[in-house]
């Protein structure tokens, strides 16, 4: 099966799951997050790559048809994005009490787009501050996670001077 066929099957499955949850008036951020991830994967011709560049964490991707989108600012996050998203995670974990979250639950409280939150989460995962659970793209914090630790780790990895 090709990457495109697999992506389309995942998209159909996510849409079906969301539709079923909506029929029972029980849709949650998990279903919406799953649909957003599947839609993003279906639009891309290849797996995205991530790298630190010029003080930002950049997500590079090529859309189907060969159009590169790596210069799109929504696909990069800077220190401010990391700070806001990390603070949102701290507050969410404390307020929610369940110990896990999905990207979609960070969007409204952080004021960032879903894609920018995804890039920040990928950065924090690569810095060892977040872990992805095996179930439904759920994320949890690693030991020692704080917004301050996230900012310090980002600054260090991005080559920025210590605050």
Clarify whether residues 32 and 104 are in a common domain: no
pLDDT band at 97 (very low <50, low <70, confident <90, very high): low
Clarify whether residues 153 and 95 are in a common domain: yes
What CATH number did the domain enclosing 85 receive? 1.10.10.10
SS3 58: strand
| The two three-digit tokens of residue 72, written as one number | 């799109």
In a domain? residue 60: no
For the stretch 27-73, pLDDT in tens is 788 888 888 878 887 777 677 888 999 999 998 887 666 555 544 54
Q: What percent of the chain has pLDDT over 90?
A: 44
Cα 134 to its chain centre, rounded Å, is: 15
Give the DSSP letter string of 71-102.
T-GGGEE-HHHHHHHHHHHHHHHHHH-SS-B-
| Euclidean distance between CA atoms 95 and 123, whole angstroms | 23
Tell me the pLDDT of the chain averaged across its residues.
85
In a domain? residue 51: no
Q: Mean per-residue pLDDT for 70-81?
A: 74
Question: pTM for the complete prediction?
Answer: 0.77
| Euclidean distance between CA atoms 156 and 55, whole angstroms | 10
In a domain? residue 61: no
In a domain? residue 25: yes
Task: State how beta strands 56-60 and 76-77 pair.
Answer: antiparallel
In a domain? residue 63: no
How many domains, in total, are found in the chain? Answer: 2
Q: Which residue has the tokens 């949850």?
A: 21
Closest CA to 42 of 65, 17, 16, 73: 65
Domain hosting residue 143, numbered range: 77-158
In a domain? residue 45: no
Q: Angle formed by the axes of helices 29-43 and 114-126, to 10°?
A: 90
In a domain? residue 35: yes
- Asked whether the predicted pLDDT for residue 124 surpasses 60, the reply is yes
| Contact call for residues 21 and 31 (beta carbons, < 8 A) | yes
Clarify whether residues 29 and 82 are in a common domain: no
Clarify whether residues 84 and 154 are in a common domain: yes
Clarify whether residues 30 and 93 are in a common domain: no
């Amino acid at each position: 099966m090709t990457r495109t066929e697999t992506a389309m099957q995942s998209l159909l499955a996510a849409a079906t799951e969301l539709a079923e949850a909506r029929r029972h008036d029980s849709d949650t951020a998990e279903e919406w997050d799953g649909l957003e991830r599947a839609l993003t994967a279906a639009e891309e011709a290849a797996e995205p790559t991530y790298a630190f560049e010029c003080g930002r964490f950049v997500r590079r991707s090529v859309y189907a048809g060969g159009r590169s989108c790596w210069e799109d600012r929504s696909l990069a996050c800077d220190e401010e994005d990391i700070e806001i998203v990390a603070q949102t995670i701290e507050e969410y974990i404390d307020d929610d009490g369940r110990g896990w979250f999905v990207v979609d639950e960070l969007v409204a409280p952080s004021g960032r787009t879903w894609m920018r939150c995804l890039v920040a989460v990928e950065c924090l995962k690569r810095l060892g501050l977040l872990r992805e659970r095996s179930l439904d793209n759920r994320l949890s914090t690693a030991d020692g996670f704080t917004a301050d630790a996230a900012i310090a780790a980002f600054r260090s990895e991005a080559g920025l001077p210590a605050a």
